[in-house]
Chain A
Amino acid sequence: LAGVSANLPDEPSWRVVEGVRWRCWDGDFVVFNPLSGYTHVVDIVTGQILTLLTSGRTTVAAVRSDVSAFLEVPDDDKLADTVHGILLRLEDAGLVERLD
């Protein structure tokens, strides 16, 4: 994931693409994209980010803070890279979108 964060602005906002829906079972998230028709199974951290972004426009800093608290790990560069990597993968899958 090294270098991923360099592709993103410092403070972009993100949100879940309209119509995306999911279920969470035992820490696994099954996510449906109505535009592509694809169903994705994602881990609990990715699901946590999706859940947070459902509330609407959310900054990367807010996502990092939420994931930091969720995983009980420091909000450092390593976490920033992880969060950015997840956001990019979600964007590639058409599940979230950048607003800035």
Chain B
Amino acid sequence: MFICLERIATWHRRSSRRAVVSIGEFSIAISLEASPTGLAGPIEELYGDYPQLDPDTLPDVTVALRPQRGGRARSAVRAFANGVAPYDAVPLRWALPVMEATINWYVWGHVARVLLLHAAAVERQGRALILSGPSGAGKSTLCAALLARGFRFLTDEIAMVRPRDGQLEPHPRPISLKNQAIDLMAEMLPDAYLSQRFHNPARGVAAFMRPPTRSIAAAGKTASPALVIFPSYQPDAGFELRPVERAQAFTRLVESSANYLTLLETGFETLANLVEACDHYALNYPSLDAAVGAIEDLARAPGRIRKVA
């Protein structure tokens, strides 16, 4: 199944294409303006399973990819979120990563109705497991590995906590994988769609994985936060799983939030309620198998480990 970036005729651009996709409570209009050949296909593949709304729907954000004029006009593109371009123009082959980064930038800086945490999250039996940590901690890889074990995918980068009832709103956007995680996930989830690979001399290789269809279909179904894991991939260290005190978990989650400060009392109450509702663990893992096994144990028996040594 594919979304269709419909050709729309406008007074100034005769070859624009636009689609509005629904991602749980969030909606994104993707607009390819005067789109060069080859740009629509990868986007349609990556967003192929998302419900498509009427193109005239007013979305939360419109992300527009516009070709750049000037010297490299035919090979460069720039991404705009509601008219603002947070990043420089990039070569056409980098359109997909810059589009995803631009959507993240917009959500991170502009969505105020929910508490935003930099975290991945999955769900099983209505209980959400939040993976919180800085970039490079292994959140996405761990998240994808848990999907292979049957967890429902909620989010890869941005956890949205609803102040009204503390529920986690799914935001199942494409999963950003890097370096060895790409081949690993291709092996663990052989049916999942993977984008082309993007080679960056400074950062290595990146690719995007389309979330499982059932996770996208259930994007409107919230989950109750139950477990917070602070993972850290340490290939040369031993495995360690230890409980984290709630006050410490609170401060770590504050550091990971985009809008805790701006939400004021609402931010404090929402985060405090989440912290009280969850058990918290720090997980240092040298191998994915060990980490996934430990998390599955915790998900089966919440509260099994309570005391901090």
Chain A residues within CB distance 8 Å of chain B: 19, 21, 23, 25-26, 28-30, 32, 34, 37, 39, 41
Contact = CB atoms under 8 A, between A and B. Distances in A.
Contacts of B251: 30, 39, 41
Bin chain B's interface residue count: 10 to 19
B308 to A, nearest CB: 8
A31 to B, nearest CB: 9
A25 B276 CA distance: 8
Nearest to A32: B268
Contacts of A23: 250, 272, 275-276
A41 B272 CA distance: 13
B303 to A, nearest CB: 14
25 contacts: A19-B265, A21-B265, A21-B268, A23-B272, A23-B275, A23-B276, A25-B245, A25-B246, A25-B250, A25-B276, A26-B245, A26-B246, A26-B247, A28-B245, A28-B246, A28-B248, A30-B251, A30-B272, A32-B265, A32-B268, A37-B264, A39-B251, A39-B254, A41-B247, A41-B250
A75 to B, nearest CB: 28
B261 A37 contact: yes
Nearest to A42: B247
Nearest to B250: A30
Contacts of A19: 265
Nearest to B245: A26
Given A23-B276, A25-B275, A39 B246 contact: no
Contacts of B245: 25-26, 28
Contacts of B250: 23, 25, 30, 41
